[in-house]
């Protein structure tokens, strides 16, 4: 499974929903699983974004679908980033060395 970072910012409508129904956050996580991805970790943060989510999905197409489906609701704005671990990066760099 591939890892992805999803930075999310609630819209005015999204803030109203979370304030009135905080359990909605976990319900959305269940919906994400039904779309073929899984939330591994989730943090509420201060600053430019409201949540940072670490997800797993089998491929870019699946996470793209999740991002579009969630964004189309109008309650959240998302930035989704593909991620690789530092260990994977080091392996890639070591195996591609020309020296």
pTM, whole model, 2 decimals?
0.88
48-77: pLDDT as tens digits: 999 999 999 999 999 999 999 999 999 999
Confidence of residue 95 (pLDDT cuts 50, 70, 90): confident
Cα distances (angstroms) measured from residue 78 to each of 10, 26, 35, 72, 95: 9, 17, 16, 10, 34
Confidence of residue 98 (pLDDT cuts 50, 70, 90): low
Question: Which domains occur in the chain, in start order?
Answer: 2-95 (3.30.70.920)
31-52: pLDDT as tens digits: 999 999 999 999 999 999 999 9
Q: Which helix (H) or strand (E) holds 83?
A: strand 76-83
């Amino acid at each position: 499974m591939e890892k992805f970072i999803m930075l999310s910012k609630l819209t005015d409508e999204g803030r109203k929903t979370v304030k009135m129904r905080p359990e909605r956050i976990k319900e959305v996580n269940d919906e994400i699983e039904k779309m073929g991805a899984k939330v591994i970790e989730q943090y509420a943060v201060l600053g430019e974004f409201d949540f940072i989510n670490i997800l797993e999905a089998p491929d870019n197409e699946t996470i793209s679908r999740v991002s579009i489906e969630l964004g189309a609701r109008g309650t959240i704005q998302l930035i989704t980033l593909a991620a690789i671990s530092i260990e994977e990066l080091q392996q890639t760099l070591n195996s591609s060395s020309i020296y």
